[in-house]
Amino acid sequence: MSQALRQSHRNKFQRFISDPIIGFIIWIFISLLRILPINFSSTLGGCLGRFFYYLFPKRNRIGRKNLEIAFPNKTDAEREDILKKMWVHWGRVYGELPHAAKLFQHANKTGIKYLQELAQKKQGCFVCSGHLGNFEISAATYLFDDYCLNPVYRAANNPWVDRILFQRRKGVLIPKGTQGAKKMLSVLKSGKAVVILCDQKVREGISVPFFGKPAMTASAVAGLSQKMKIPILMAMCLRQPNGNFNITVYPLNIPQNTTNNDFVYETVLRINQELEKWIEKYPEQWLWIHRRFDKSEYN
């Protein structure tokens, strides 16, 4: 469903009362965070995340199942500790939203040269990442000169929330759907980078193993990469123990000399495998509470 269609389905109470009220509350909260020091704002968000752990038992059940699939050799206590730390991390991510550009300036950056080289050639590319670490830090600012990432995203149902949380990003915002696909092609043809978070379940994708389980995964990146002859980069922005962030960008090793179908499948598989490596290294920074696998896994 497109952004405009989803928002048009809001009833009158939502459109004229609840949506503006929720938007105003979030605006006040973001404005407060903006005037606070970065460390305090991040810590405050982490405290709220720790509190939210107790408010969403259904989400926690999904998270426990995902953790069981990904880490079958860990104990229940170890997996629960990861889940709790995840809530704190994502609370901190939202606490850091108003300070994303400043955090980018102080982050350790490795591999930005790959994007610089493509920019010099005016070569479009895909940048694949996941709901891991704090990718908002890279999406909310210019990486170098006037070069920024152009994210594919799912717009919030509440248009007020969408403007406050997502419209702050730099670059062209590419909503999911038919309209977004046209924007994506335009961005790629103009020699810019399109960023996609490739770790969510999608109905229109293909089934590819993820942590050893079949998982519907977006395949458009692989198909368009092959058709348009554009590279795929992986990118992660991960929190370090000292509170700083490491931003890492590197080319995906895509398959060579394969048929069309094999290329798409193998490319998507390699994206999943790269994500697995990072998640295994930083498990508390991945968003475990979404249904990544078939619904039968959560019964």
Is residue 294 in a domain?
A: no
For 127, the domain range is 3-288
What's the mean pLDDT in 128-155? 89
Q: Looking up tokens 């928002």, which residue turns up?
A: 7
pLDDT 10s digits, 193-237: 999 999 999 888 899 999 999 999 999 999 999 999 999 999 999
161 vs 294: CA distance, rounded Å = 29
Cα-Cα end-to-end distance for the chain: 26
Is residue 297 in a domain?
A: no
> 233 by DSSP, 3-state: which?
strand
Domain count within the chain: 1
What pTM was computed for the model? 0.91
Is residue 154 in a domain?
A: yes
Is residue 128 in a domain?
A: yes
pLDDT 10s digits, 235-251: 999 999 988 999 999 99
- How do the residues of the chain divide into helix, strand and coil, expressed in percent and rounded to 5? 55, 15, 30
Is residue 298 in a domain?
A: no
Is residue 11 in a domain?
A: yes
Phi, psi of 298 (to 5 degrees): -105, 10
State the pLDDT confidence band at 27, using cuts at 50, 70 and 90.
Answer: very high
Where b means 16+ CB within 10 Å and e means fewer, 178-203 reads eebeebbeebbeebbbbbbbbbbbee
Is residue 237 in a domain?
A: yes
